[in-house]
Amino acid sequence: MRGRLPVTVLAAAGALTAGFAAQAAASGVQAVAWAAAAGVGLTLMLRGVGLRVVGVALAALAVAGSVWAAQAGLWLAVAGFVALVVAAVGLVVWGPGWAGRAREGREAPPDLWSAMDRGDDPTDEQHVRRDGGAG
């Protein structure tokens, strides 16, 4: 479970399970679960150290939510929060490494301004070089 997809799916499943279980019981724990679900959504936009920071925040939120849910007797919500804690640990441990793997194998996009300086038309699909001089 080192890849981004399994960690994100586990985190989303945990947050949604906790949220729906707490909402069905009309418990205030649902606010913590929905905040955690928003945090999981945030992880989709982050890379590197940002994933580690959000992972720590999600782990703390999930631990607090699981304690609150256990006190309320919402065992399905506790299970969702536990899954979220496991996924948050994955974000903290492996998250910063995902940014480097995402960039592997990609070549840099062409610098369009440099192409125009050389006299190339970057929008020309036939790659015909046009000289700037008069005919």
pLDDT tens per residue, range 82-119: 999 999 999 888 888 876 554 555 666 667 778 778 88
Q: pTM value?
A: 0.70
The Cα angle at residue 114 between residues 110 and 117, in degrees rounded to 5:
145
pLDDT, position 127: 61
Tell me how many domains the chain contains. Answer: 1
Query: Between these two residues, 1 and 70, which has the higher pLDDT value?
Result: 70
Closest CA to 46 of 85, 80, 1, 8: 8
- CA nearest to 9, candidates 68, 74, 86, 103: 86
Domain enclosing residue 87, as ranges: 4-101
